[in-house]
Structure 1
Amino acid sequence: MKISSERLGKRFRREWIFRNVELTLQSGTSYTFVGPNGSGKSTLLQTLIGVLPLSEGTIQYTLHGKPVESDEWFRHVVMASPYLELIEELTLLELLTFHQSFKPFKENRTPEQLCELMYLSHARHKEIKAFSSGMKQRVKLALAFYSEAAVVILDEPTSNLDKQGVAWYRERVLQLSDQLLLIGSNQPEEYDFCPNVIDISQWK
């Protein structure tokens, strides 16, 4: 997978969050976007994957040398962030089963196996609304780690995680070597393994 942007810009009302973003992002490596709080890291990530509309410029998605149509793009990307909501009325098993219906898990893993991998088997029949913020974040990360997707977006990935949860994150994120991994962070422990660190302040 390759994501290419040309003169990409995003504006809210009269304020430009970023302008003239020129990027070529390739599968098989990782990229971390850093910058002060409020600098637009999350906005850039969401714009790059089409969650937010761009204000100017173009973005092209290419898979195996062929363009990916915009209405098919969602099949190739998965995202985890503390501001994304889970369906809280579902139990953990119900949520995983629902997710699996439109985005399969790697190696044909089952929802039960995913519960074990995130150390939440004891809560598999509990509704998501009863989960702590740390448990919810672990679920979001597991969906990103184990879904079949060419692009993985992790925005502030260790938010709400305790020390054990951070260790769990680091062990698993290092296994994403074949995918295109994009991280938004200001915490070195979230990205110190990443070979490409990009300061978004250059596009202000």
Structure 2
Amino acid sequence: MDIHIHNLSKKFNKEWIFKDINFNFKRGNSYSITGPNGSGKSTLLQIISGSIPATKGTVVYKSDQEVIDPEYFYQYQTQANPYLELIEEFTLPELLKFHFTFKKIAGNLSISEIINRLYLEDSKHKQIKNFSSGMKQRLKLGLAFFSESDVILLDEPTTNLDALGTKWYLNEVTKLLENTLIIISSNQKIEYEFCNKNIDLRDFKD
């Protein structure tokens, strides 16, 4: 999966957040989107995901040179971000089983193996609403990492993670670099220092 953005621009009210971004994201590479607060990092990621529209410009998705209808891009991607909602009345196995009715599990993992990889065995019978913020973030990341996906979009991925959680994140995400297109919106270098390409949104400010 490759993603091509052409003259991508976003305006809120009368202010341009960013203008005329041209960039090609290619599978097997990892990209960071950086810039100061308010520069539009999360906004750009949401436009790429198809969650919100651009003010002008285009996003083209290609799989093996075949153009993918934007309406179906959700089938090729997974996300983890601060605004992702979890069903808090579910227990962990219930939530995972629900999620994987829509997404295929990567690597033929079982639900039990995923719980082990998340280091959440001791909390598997709790409702998600009783998880700490760090546990919820690890779960969000796990849903992205352990789903079969061509594209992974991460916004501030270590939010609420302690040092051990951050180490876990880096260990899991770097396993996916070879065959997956990964795009990370962040201001924390530790979250993206393994990425081989960068978009600095200061270069696209009006």
Q: TM-score, normalised by structure 1?
A: 0.97
Write the mapping of 1:68-79 to structure 2, written as runs, cut at 5 A: 68-79=68-79
1:87 aligns with 2:87: yes
When the two chains are superposed, the root-mean-square deviation of aligned CA atoms in Å is 0.9
Q: CA deviation at 1:85?
A: 1.3
Give the aligned partner of residue 193 of structure 1. 194
**Structure 1 portions without partners, runs of 5+:** none
Quote the Cα distance in structure 1 between the aligned partners of 2:57 and 2:86: 32
Partner of 1:184: 185
Per-residue CA shift, 1:136-183, capped at 9, x if unaligned?
A: 000001111111110001110101001100110111111112100000
How many Å separate the matches in 2 of 1:110 and 1:13?
47
Whole-angstrom distance in 2 between the partners of 1:131 and 1:71: 33
The runs of at least 4 consecutive aligned structure 1 residues that moved more than 4 Å come to: none
Q: Give the aligned partner of residue 204 of structure 2.
A: 203
Q: Check if 1:161 corresponds to 2:144.
A: no
Letter in 2 for 1:192: E
List per-residue Cα deviations over 1:24-65 (Å, max 9, x = no partner).
000001000111112110000000111111111111000011
Partner of 2:135: 135
Measured after TM superposition, the shift of residue 71 of structure 1 is 2.1
SS at match of 2:3: strand
Matched positions, count = 204
Distance in 1 (alpha carbons) for counterparts of 2:74 and 2:196? 26
Give the distance between the partners of 1:36 and 1:87, measured in 2 at CA: 32
AA partner of residue 182 (structure 1): I
3-state SS in 2 of match to 1:33: strand
Matches within 5 A, 1:1-204: 1-177=1-177, 178-204=179-205
Deviation of residue 112 (structure 1)?
1.6
Rounded to whole Å, the distance in 1 between the matches of 2:198 and 2:71 is 30
**Alpha-carbon offset, residue 83 of structure 1:** 2.2
The structural deviation recorded for 1:186 is 0.9
Alpha-carbon distance between aligned partners in 2 of 1:57 and 1:191, rounded to the nearest angstrom: 26
Gaps of 5+ in 2: none
- What TM-score results when the alignment is normalised by the length of structure 2? 0.96
Q: Helix, strand or coil: the match of 2:79? A: strand
